[in-house]
Homo-oligomer: A and B are copies of this chain.
Amino acid sequence: MITSRDNKWLKLFRAALRGTGPRDGEPIGVEGPKLVEEALRSGLEADALLVSEGAERSAERILRAASESDAGIPQSRILHTTGKLFKSVAGTDAPQGVAALFRQRPWGFDDILRGPGANGSNDANRKLAGARPPLVIVLAELQDPGNVGTILRSAEAFGATGAVASRGTADPWSPKALRASSGSALRLPLLRGMAIPVILAQLRIAKVKIYAASSAPAADANASGGSLASQADLRDAAAIFIGNEGGGVPDEVKRAADAMISIPMAEPVESLNAGVAASLVLYEAARQRK
C-alpha cells in the first residue's frame, strides 16, 4: 500500500497519465478499467498496475484479463494506494481508480504495411496479417489529440494495416489520444515522430500509392469534385495523408501525391473536421475492398 506522495511509482504514473505522450523507451500510461483491460487483451506488456482503494472489483476483472493474456502482470507490480493519492496522479477529473504503465511495442515500417496480428495474440488478426494490400493512414502535423485518437479508431474499424504520426503530430500514445482512440492506438501498428520526407520515401520504396486527402475541394485544382469512389481506387496498396486542422496537407505531400482525394460537400462549409474527413476516406477504402 503506497501512502507517500514521493513514492517513485506514483511519480512515474503521474508523468505518464498527465503528459503529452511517452518518449522512446518510456512507458505508456493508461487510465480507466476498460482501457487497461483492452490493453492487456491486446497483448501489451504491463510494467505496473495501480489500484485505488474502492476499485478492487474493477481490478479483479483486469487481473483475470491479465492472466488470460500472453503477457500478464508480475504480482510485485500490482500496487495499491489511497483514493486521494490516486487522484493526485490521475489525468482525468473523475478517475476510476485503475491505471497501468505499458511497454511500447517496437513496431517497424513492415508492420505498418502488413497489419496487426503477426506478433499479436488474436488469431483472427494473425490470419489477416499480410493477406491484404497495405492501407496506411498518415497523420501529417495534426494538432488535436482527440482527432488523432478518433482517426486511429476509424482506421482499425475500417481495416487499415497501420498508421504513421508525422513529426509535429499530437502523440497517439498521449492520454487524450488514447482515450479518443478507445484503445485502437494500442493495437494498430503505429510509428511516431517520422519526418514527412522519410515517410514519403519509405512508401515509394514499398510501392504504396500516395493520396492526399483534402476536405476543401474547391481550392485544389487537381480535385475532380466527383464522388470519392470516382477519385481513387483504394483496393491496391495505398497511403492516405490527412493534414492539419487549419492548413490541410503540407505542400510537400501534395507535390509528391499520386492523387488528391477531396470530399464533395455543400457551400458555405469550407472543410470538415479532420477526424471526419479521414474516417470518410477510410470507410470508402473498406467499401471498395469488400
Contact = CB atoms under 8 A, between A and B. Distances in A.
Interface of A: 41-42, 122, 124, 146, 150, 153-154, 156-159, 180, 182, 184, 187, 227, 263-273, 275-276, 279-280, 283, 286-287, 290
A153 B269 contact: yes
A272 to B, nearest CB: 6
Query: How many copies of the polypeptide does the oligomer hold?
Result: 2
A41 B182 CA distance: 38
A153 B122 contact: no
Contacts of A154: 272-273, 276
A158 B266 contact: yes
A266 B156 contact: yes
Given A150-B273, A156-B268, 17 more contacts: A41-B268, A122-B268, A124-B267, A150-B276, A153-B269, A153-B272, A154-B272, A154-B273, A156-B266, A156-B269, A157-B269, A158-B265, A158-B266, A182-B269, A265-B286, A273-B279, A279-B279
Contacts of A268: 41-42, 122, 156, 187
A119 B283 CA distance: 36
Given A154-B272, A279-B280, A280-B280, A227 B287 contact: yes
A157 B187 contact: no
B275 A157 contact: no
5 contacts: A150-B275, A156-B266, A157-B265, A276-B276, A280-B283
Contact of A146 (B122, B146, B227): B146
Contacts of A42: 268
Nearest to A150: B273
Contact of A275 (B187, B271, B273): B273
Nearest to A287: B227
Determine which residue in A154, A276, A279 has the highest number of CB atoms from chain B within 10 A of its CB, and name it. Answer: A276
A276 B157 CA distance: 12
Contacts of A187: 268
A284 to B, nearest CB: 9
A75 to B, nearest CB: 28
A187 B272 CA distance: 15
Contacts of A150: 273, 275-276
A180 to B, nearest CB: 7
A180 B180 CA distance: 16
Nearest to A122: B268
A158 B272 CA distance: 10
A290 B266 CA distance: 11
